[in-house]
A and B are shown apart, each in its own frame.
Chain A
């Protein structure tokens, strides 16, 4: 009796776990619209660091691991600065090219004098 029921019990438990995982994902808005997805990401960002700290305290790892230094780096600002620099360089490029060409020609003329 038990050997015959065991595969069925295994299958039912696997289906329950998989179904539960899908339900949790659906219920927490992870499979919904863009707004729900971005809200879920914000919630996760807010919840994960304190949870990590709690777990580290629980396992007594806090004293061993150094604290993460707070780096003030904004990828958005860096990207925007890069774009501005590129576009301004491109807009000045003809003027600069003309200047350098004239300087080069002048230098060559001075050499040939």
Chain B
């Protein structure tokens, strides 16, 4: 993986992390207000889940360069 490609992937990871954290926070607030009597734990749970999803996406994105796909294996 070239340095430029790695830089772009890391930028994407960061942007995705921000988006998913915000989404988790928003959904956590909605669920907390509607179902859980404005407690804090749903907000924390959903924000954490959002960050976890972003981490998993980033991990997959960084590993995808080294994964050999079935069509490439057949060509070889």
Q: Known contacts A34-B13, A37-B16: does B54 contact A17 (CB below 8 Å)?
A: no
Q: Known contacts A34-B12, A38-B11: does B34 contact A18 (CB below 8 Å)?
A: yes
Size band of the interface chain B makes with A: 20 to 34
Q: Mark B15-48, 1 if CB is under 8 A from A, else 0.
A: 1101110010011001100110000000000000
Inter-subunit contact B34/A37 (CB<8 Å): no
Chain A residue total in the interface (Cβ 8 A): 16
Q: Mark A10-45, 1 if CB is under 8 A from B, else 0.
A: 000010011001100100001101110110111000
Inter-subunit contact A14/B20 (CB<8 Å): no
Main secondary structure of the interface of A (DSSP, over half): helix
Inter-subunit contact A34/B23 (CB<8 Å): no
Chain A residues with a Cβ under 8 A of chain B: 14, 17-18, 21-22, 25, 30-31, 33-35, 37-38, 40-42
* A–B Cβ pairs within 8 angstroms, 21 of them: A14-B34, A17-B30, A17-B34, A21-B26, A21-B30, A25-B26, A25-B27, A30-B20, A31-B23, A33-B16, A34-B15, A34-B16, A34-B54, A34-B57, A37-B16, A37-B20, A38-B11, A38-B15, A40-B19, A41-B18, A41-B19
